[in-house]
């Protein structure tokens, strides 16, 4: 059993907190700092690390700040306690020699545990990341946006939908220790079907919280015997309104809410 | 007629030089600098800017160097003369609020003219880039790697192949001034067919040079009345072996070769 699965089962928690940190949305008290993003991330991690098993950094929110933003990713990683699973939500995808450079960027220059990858260019664009021992690739399966209907849900001549073909093709060649899939919570009708087709791999599930997906639905239709889920919540936690004294009170309360709900769900089923 | 098309027609040149700069592959004379990538890019641009109409920065090669690499992209852009078309080969693709951050990263924080985008997540992931006036999106159509057969070339139930569906869906809603497509030169059998289906949009064509595609084939099957092609060459130019005194002699000779070949092709047809 890998470390992530072990943490999920012993802590009865499968929460990933998404650090989609936008300087324009931070509490006013952080705006006085020279580097508001970094101070905010540090505070979020300090106040939530006992309530989650993973953190996901959405690289877009760092790239939009230029080289300073890239430095913020480097420093934020040093604030995350050892043992938490760290995900670069980068959705990269490119041919072999370029994929090698992305792998170097996210597994060597930045020491992430996992990277999200867009597999549309083909299976050969996914493999170079696995040259890093222990590195995990999280391939896009079925995403949570309305546009997922445009191409991912298209039926192929073979009868499968495109996202089914993508997931099967990858799952048959890469095991659950090295490969996970992004499956949006807003797609809960499809979740049970996807789980029965892909029984062993972990799903990273965005879309709970601001995007409206239900945690209970995700757990009921998506969990396997060792849970096999990481539910990501970004905005609904990090921008939660304050509920008491201290600028982080709302953040803690929101994370605690998910933690309790997950504990209850796992308590009933396992 | 936009500036890029005007440059292509008046200069009889449709060459894009790809700055996929890998510090490990630079001539020894550059390795003594504190920042070899930056000095090399500067030298390549100085020695080639009269022989091309565009430069493409493959972001992977910069991200792998961390925040210093991101800074190298910022500085490299300042070396490129005004009037050259600049492309962030970033292959980004994500839902709305994240795509907005990527657009900010590549059209505001970094002042590129265009970005390559992976449209697999849906048409709604392409639109946010167009909020920047004049910004150009270059969507993946059919790529040059072997893995393009895995998903892009899959036949849909409708009879179209997936890449055809992607290209049609986008081309019908976004005009040629704001949208281009990546179409690999190694796919020359399909190129004529793609051009007849997508008559007006410009194709960014990688795969000529090291990957083996033929410039003549690309021009014969892919050009329209205003050319509508940007042929990208990276390794075969920037890592060309020296042919005379000076470390840039081979780079200049390789770019000159493409320039002459393009001039001849355009001279005959237009």
Q: Give, in order, the Cα–Cα distances in Å from A176 to each of A119, A173, A229.
A: 16, 10, 12
User: Which domain covers residue B70, as residue numbers?
Assistant: 3-269
**Quick one: what percent of chain B has pLDDT higher than 70?**
99
Q: What is the largest CA-CA distance in chain A?
A: 59
Tell me the CA distances in angstroms from B56 to A28, A257, B47, B171, B234, one per residue in order: 39, 47, 16, 22, 9
Compute the Cα dihedral for B113, B119, B124, B125 and give only its sign: negative
- How many CB atoms sit inside 10 A of residue A44's CB? 22
Chain A residues near residue B58 by CB distance under 8 angstroms: 94, 98, 101
3-state secondary structure chain A: CCHHHHHHHHHCCCEEEECCCCHHHCCHHHCCCCCHHHHHHHHHHHHHHHHCCEEEEECHHHHCCHHHHHHHHHHHHHHCCCCCEEEEEEEECCCHHHHHHHHHHHHHHCCCCEEEECHHHCHHHCHHHHHCCCCEEEEEEECCCHHHHCCCCCEECCCCEHHHHHHHHHHCCCCCCCEEEEECHHHHHHHHHHHHHCCCCEEEECCECCCCECHHHHHHHHCECCECEEEEECHHHHCCCCCCCCCCHHHHHHHHHHHHHHHHHHHHHC
Confidence grade of residue B70 (pLDDT, cut at 50, 70, 90):
very high
Domain count, chain A: 1
Residue corresponding to tokens 């990501």: A232
Could you tell me if B108 lies within 8 Å of chain A, comparing CB atoms?
Answer: yes
CB contact, 8 Å: B149 with chain A?
A: yes
**The pLDDT of residue B249 is above 80:** yes
**pLDDT value for A147:** 94
d(CA B55, CA B185): 18
The per-residue pLDDT for range A178-231, each reduced to its tens digit, is 999 999 988 767 999 999 999 999 999 998 887 778 999 999 999 999 999 999
Cβ(A232)–Cβ(A144) below 8 Å: no
List C-alpha distances in Å: B255 to A221, B77, B156, B258: 57, 19, 40, 5
Pick B213 or B168 by higher pLDDT.
B168
| Mean of per-residue pLDDT scores for chain B | 94
pLDDT of residue A242: 86
d(CA B90, CA A93): 9
Closest CA to B60 of A157, A196, A104, A197: A104
* Interchain proximity A152–B121, CB inside 8 Å: yes
pLDDT at B96 over 60: yes
The pLDDT of residue B270 is above 50: no
- Report CB contact under 8 Å: B157, A157: yes
> Is ipTM strictly over 0.90?
yes
Amino acid B187: pLDDT: 72
Cα separation of B181 and B184, whole Å?
Answer: 10
Residues 126 to 145 of A: which have CB under 8 A from any B CB? 140, 143-145
> At B256, is the pLDDT very low, low, confident or very high (cuts 50, 70, 90)?
very high
A252 touches chain B (CB under 8 A): no
Give the integer Cα–Cα distance in Å for B163 and B152: 5
Structure token digits, residue B218: 């690309």
Beta bridge partners of B220: none
Token pair in block for residue B96: 């709305």
pLDDT tens readout for residues B219-236 = 999 999 999 999 999 999
**What pLDDT is recorded for position B66?**
96
What is the pTM assigned to this prediction? 0.96
d(CA A258, CA A15): 7
CB nearest A140 (choices: B64, B121, B166): B121
- pLDDT-derived band of residue B212, with 50, 70 and 90 as boundaries? confident
B247 vs B252 pLDDT, higher one: B252
- Using one digit for the tens of pLDDT, what is the confidence trace for B105-125? 999 999 999 999 999 999 999
pLDDT of residue B134: 94
Q: Name the H helices within B80-161.
A: 96-104
For an interface test with B, which of A21, A66, A72, A78 has the most B Cβ atoms less than 10 Å from its Cβ? A66
pLDDT score of B250 more than 80:
yes
C-alpha to C-alpha distance for B207 and B229, rounded to whole angstroms: 13
Dist. CA B71–CA B67, nearest whole Å: 6
Report mean pLDDT in 10-residue bins for chain A, 270 residues.
94 98 93 95 98 98 96 98 97 95 98 97 95 97 92 95 96 97 85 96 91 89 96 96 88 97 82
Give the CB-side neighbour count of residue B118, counting CA atoms within 13 A.
27
CATH code of the domain covering residue A199: 3.20.20.70
């Amino acid at each position: 059993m890998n470390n992530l699965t072990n943490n999920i089962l012993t802590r009865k928690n499968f929460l990933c907190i998404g650090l989609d940190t936008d300087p324009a949305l931070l509490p006013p008290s952080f705006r006085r700092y020279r580097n508001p993003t970094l101070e905010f991330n540090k505070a979020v991690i300090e106040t939530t690390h006992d309530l989650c098993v993973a953190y996901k950094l959405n690289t877009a929110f760092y790239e939009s700040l230029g080289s300073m933003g890239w430095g913020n990713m480097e420093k934020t990683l040093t604030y995350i306690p050892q043992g938490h699973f760290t995900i670069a939500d980068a959705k990269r995808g490119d041919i072999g020699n370029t994929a090698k450079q992305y792998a170097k960027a996210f597994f060597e220059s930045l020491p992430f545990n996992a990277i999200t990858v867009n597999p549309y260019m083909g299976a050969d664009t996914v493999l170079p990341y696995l040259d890093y021992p222990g590195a995990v690739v999280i391939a896009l399966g079925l995403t949570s946006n309305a546009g997922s209907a445009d191409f991912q849900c298209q039926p192929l001549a073979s009868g499968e939908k495109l996202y089914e073909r993508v997931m099967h093709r990858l799952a048959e060649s890469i095991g659950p220790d090295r490969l996970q899939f992004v499956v949006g919570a807003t797609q809960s009708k499809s979740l049970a079907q996807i789980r029965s087709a892909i029984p062993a791999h972990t799903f990273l599930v965005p879309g709970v919280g601001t995007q409206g997906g239900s945690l209970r639905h995700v757990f009921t239709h998506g969990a396997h015997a060792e849970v096999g889920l990481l539910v990501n919540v970004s905005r609904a936690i990090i921008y939660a309104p304050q509920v008491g004294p201290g600028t982080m009170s709302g953040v803690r309360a929101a994370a605690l809410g998910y933690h309790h709900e997950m504990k209850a769900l796992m308590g009933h089923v396992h």
